[in-house]
Structure 1
Amino acid sequence: MTKVTAAQLATARGCVLGLMLGDAIGATGGNVPASGTLRATSAGQLACFTIEGIIRADVRGSHKGICYPPSVVWRSYHRWATIQGISGLEAMPDKNWPTGWLSTVPALAERRGSAPAAVAALQRKTMGTIAKPGGTSTGAHALTRTLPVGLYPSCNPVEVAALTHSGEALGAAWLGATVVRLLAAGDRLHDALESARLHAANWREVAERSLAPAVAAARSRPGTLPELTRLAPDARAVSALAGGVYTATSFPGRETVREALLFAASAGDGGHTATVAGALLGTAHGADALPVDWLSRLELAWPTDTLARDLVTQMADSPSGGEYVEATDPHWWSRYPGG
Structure 2
Amino acid sequence: MIDLDRAALERYRSRVRGCLIGGAVGDALGAPVEFLHSDRIRDEYGPDGLTDLVTGSDGVALVTDDTQMTLFTVDGLIRASVRADHGASHPPSTVHRAYLRWLDTQRLAAPPPDPDGWLAAQPWLYARRAPGNACLSGLGSPGMGTPEQPKNPGSKGCGTVMRSAPFGLYPHARVTAGAAFDLSAECATQTHGHPTGYLAAGAFAAIVRTLVAGEDLRAAVAVALDLLAGRTGHEETTAALRSALAAADDDPRSPDRIEHLGGAWIAEEALAIGVYCALSHPDPAEVRQALLLSVNHSGDSDSTGSVCGNLLGTWHGETALPPDWVAAVEGRGAILELADDWAMEQTQGAQLHGDHGPCTEWTRRYPA
TM-score normalised over the length of structure 1: 0.91
The answer to whether structure 1 residue 291 and structure 2 residue 295 are counterparts is no
**Aligned equivalents of 1:181 and 1:261: distance in 2?**
21
Taking the TM superposition and a 5 Å limit, the aligned residue runs for 1:104-143 are: 104-135=121-152, 136-143=154-161
2:28 corresponds in structure 1 to 24
- Structure 1 residues without counterparts, runs of 5 or longer: 88-94
- 1:96: how far off? 7.2
1:11 corresponds in structure 2 to 15
- 1:307: how far off? 1.2
> Which one-letter code corresponds to 2:298 in the other structure?
G
- 1:325: how far off? 2.5
> Which one-letter code corresponds to 2:118 in the other structure?
W
1:229 corresponds in structure 2 to 259
1:90 corresponds in structure 2 to none
Taking the TM superposition and a 5 Å limit, the aligned residue runs for 1:177-216 are: 177-200=205-228, 201-202=230-231, 204-216=234-246
Aligned to 2:166, what secondary structure does the other structure show? helix
1:33 corresponds in structure 2 to 54
**Aligned equivalents of 2:147 and 2:108: distance in 1?**
25
Counterpart contact for 2:29–2:54, Cα < 8 Å: no
Counterpart contact for 1:37–1:298, Cα < 8 Å: yes
1:51 corresponds in structure 2 to 74
- 1:222: how far off? 4.8
Q: 2:273 aligns with which of 243, 246, 250?
A: 243
- Structure 2 residues without counterparts, runs of 5 or longer: 34-49
Structure 1 residues 267-291: Cα deviation after superposition (integer angstroms, max 9, x where no partner): 2222211111111111000000000
Aligned to 1:165, what secondary structure does the other structure show? coil
2:306 corresponds in structure 1 to 275
**Aligned equivalents of 2:169 and 2:72: distance in 1?**
14
Q: How many pairs does the alignment contain?
A: 328
1:321 corresponds in structure 2 to 353
Counterpart contact for 2:162–2:307, Cα < 8 Å: yes
Counterpart contact for 1:267–1:273, Cα < 8 Å: no
> Which one-letter code corresponds to 1:289 in the other structure?
A
Counterpart contact for 2:291–2:309, Cα < 8 Å: yes
1:149 corresponds in structure 2 to 167
Q: 2:188 aligns with which of 161, 167, 170?
A: 161
- 1:207: how far off? 3.8
Bigger drift between 148-157 and 46-55 goes to 148-157
Structure 1 residues 240-263: Cα deviation after superposition (integer angstroms, max 9, x where no partner): 011111101101111111111111
> Which one-letter code corresponds to 2:341 in the other structure?
D
Counterpart contact for 1:12–1:283, Cα < 8 Å: yes
2:89 corresponds in structure 1 to 67
Counterpart contact for 2:264–2:273, Cα < 8 Å: no
**Aligned equivalents of 1:141 and 1:54: distance in 2?**
18
> Which one-letter code corresponds to 2:327 in the other structure?
S
- 1:199: how far off? 2.6
Counterpart contact for 2:15–2:317, Cα < 8 Å: yes
Structure 1 residues 272-318: Cα deviation after superposition (integer angstroms, max 9, x where no partner): 11111111111000000000001110112111111111111111111
Bigger drift between 21-30 and 183-192 goes to 21-30
TM-score normalised over the length of structure 2: 0.84
Q: 2:105 aligns with which of 58, 83, 91?
A: 83
Q: Sequence identity, in percent?
A: 34
Structure 1 residues 94-135: Cα deviation after superposition (integer angstroms, max 9, x where no partner): x97541000111111111112211211222122111111122
For the aligned residue pairs, the C-alpha RMSD in angstroms reads 2.1
Structure 1 residues 194 and 28: alpha-carbon distance in aligned structure 2, compared to 1, 3 A threshold: same
